């Protein structure tokens, strides 16, 4: 334990929601990875939904079907959803991944990095309505990147506008607080509550 009683290391899974080709998610995920690997308290796992097969017709209520990412999600202490906004909501690929799983989300925090014309705010707010059904909690701080496509350099690399990295680190600090606290909740007897 550290001086402020927060556990030393936490496993954080970044879920990349867009599965389009090409996609703005790629330079944004690369930036996220660059930033998050500078944080000493977390172990990072990038869960790219474009690299995962989760057929909708095989989905079972309560996440009963075998999933290729269930183990990685179960191992995570918290999540960062990197999500664009599609038609004032979040992508169907992300809803599918949420629905495919159940206990993997329970009693864990989810933070958001949104992007779109308005920074993905409507996608993020809709996720805040969905996740409590999975017993996940959402982090108040967030990163919203309006018109992210205007912040690519000549090589297609995302160059964050001022304040974006600060917002990310504030979000991660809050995610850490929740992830650490909820780890002890998950360590208790949850059997009767699922
Ligand atoms: C089907 C679709 C619907 C979209 N609807 C919105 C929208 O409602 N609001 C918005 O800000 N951007 C919207 N956009 C723009 C996306 O946010 C933008 O293209 C973003 O870069 C997509 O991320 P991706 O390339 O990683 O998939 C939409 C894009 C698509 C493909």
Asked, for residue 28, whether it belongs to a domain, the answer is yes
Asked, for residue 100, whether it belongs to a domain, the answer is yes
For residue 86, report the distance from its CA to the centre of ligand 1, in Å. Answer: 5
CA-nearest of 29, 41, 109 to 77 is 109
Per-residue pLDDT of the chain (194 residues; tens, 9 = 90+): 555 556 579 999 999 999 999 999 999 999 999 999 999 999 999 999 999 999 999 999 888 888 999 999 999 999 999 999 999 999 999 999 999 999 999 999 999 999 999 999 999 999 999 999 999 999 999 999 999 999 999 999 999 999 999 999 999 999 999 999 999 999 876 544 44
Asked, for residue 6, whether it belongs to a domain, the answer is no
Query: Which one of 30, 116, 124, 148 would you pick to mutate in the ligand 1 pocket, going by the greatest count of ligand atoms within 8 A of its CB?
Result: 116
What pLDDT was estimated at residue 194?
Answer: 45
Asked, for residue 160, whether it belongs to a domain, the answer is yes
Asked, for residue 55, whether it belongs to a domain, the answer is yes
CATH number of the domain encompassing residue 167: 3.40.50.360
CA-nearest of 125, 158, 162 to 142 is 125
pTM: 0.95
Q: Are 144 and 17 in contact (CB under 8 A)?
A: no
Instruction: Give the chain's domain count.
Output: 1
Asked, for residue 192, whether it belongs to a domain, the answer is no
Domain holding 181, by residue range, is 12-185
Asked, for residue 1, whether it belongs to a domain, the answer is no
Question: Tens digits of per-residue pLDDT, 70-93?
Answer: 999 999 999 999 999 999 999 999
Supply the residue whose CA is at minimum distance from atom 15 of ligand 1: 116
Asked, for residue 3, whether it belongs to a domain, the answer is no
Supply the residue whose CA is at minimum distance from atom 1 of ligand 1: 86
Residue 114: how many CA atoms within 13 Å on its side-chain side?
27
């Amino acid at each position: 334990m550290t001086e402020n009683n927060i556990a030393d290391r936490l496993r954080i899974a970044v879920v990349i929601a867009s599965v389009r080709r090409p996609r703005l998610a790629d330079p944004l995920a690369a930036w996220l990875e660059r930033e998050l690997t500078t944080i000493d308290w977390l172990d990072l796992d990038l869960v790219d939904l474009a690299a995962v097969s989760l057929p909708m017709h095989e989905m079972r209520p309560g996440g009963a079907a075998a999933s290729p990412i269930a183990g990685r999600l179960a191992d995570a202490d918290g999540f960062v959803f990197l999500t664009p906004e599609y038609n004032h909501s979040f992508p169907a690929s992300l809803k599918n991944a949420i629905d495919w799983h159940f206990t993997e989300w329970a009693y864990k925090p989810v933070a958001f990095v949104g992007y779109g014309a308005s920074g993905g705010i409507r996608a993020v707010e809709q996720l805040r309505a969905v996740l409590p059904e999975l017993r996940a909690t959402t982090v108040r701080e967030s990163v919203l990147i309006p018109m992210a496509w205007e912040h690519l350099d000549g090589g297609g690399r995302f160059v964050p506008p001022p304040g974006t990295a600060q917002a990310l680190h504030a979000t991660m600090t809050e995610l850490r607080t929740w992830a650490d606290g909820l780890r002890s909740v998950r360590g208790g007897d949850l059997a009767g509550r699922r």
